Amino acid sequence: MNWLVIVATALLSSLLTCALVVAWFQLRIRPSLMQQLDDEFRYRLDEASDVIGERVEEAVRAGLVEGVTALGSREVLEGTTRNLARSSAEIVEERVNRMFGRSRGTRRRHRE
């Protein structure tokens, strides 16, 4: 009978210790860990959006310069510039939607 009391006491002590560790983790450690992960995610997202913005800007600039050098008349230049700006906006919108996990049609449905 003495061994049974010792084993029961040890099991209850272990369960109580595990419960306290879980409660401490949930109440103290997890919120600060989640905050650190959220901050890191926001930092990386800002960093990625800056890189994507720079790349798109470089590509648009190169395309515009190439388009301007290849065209002659003003009307064609205006139409091409308008089309290039529209295409660039669509590229940026598609990349941003991919980054936030939205499909292409989701954004348009929210506008209506």
Verdict on whether the full-model pTM lies above 0.75: no
The 10s digit of each residue's pLDDT in 74-109 is 666 677 777 777 777 777 777 777 777 765 554 444
Cβ-count burial of 58 within 10 angstroms (0-12 exposed, 13-18 middle, 19+ buried)?
exposed
Domain boundaries, the chain: 32-111
Is the pLDDT score of 17 beyond 90?
Answer: yes
Is the pLDDT score of 12 beyond 80?
Answer: yes
The 10s digit of each residue's pLDDT in 25-78 is 999 999 999 999 999 999 988 888 888 888 888 888 887 777 767 666 666 667
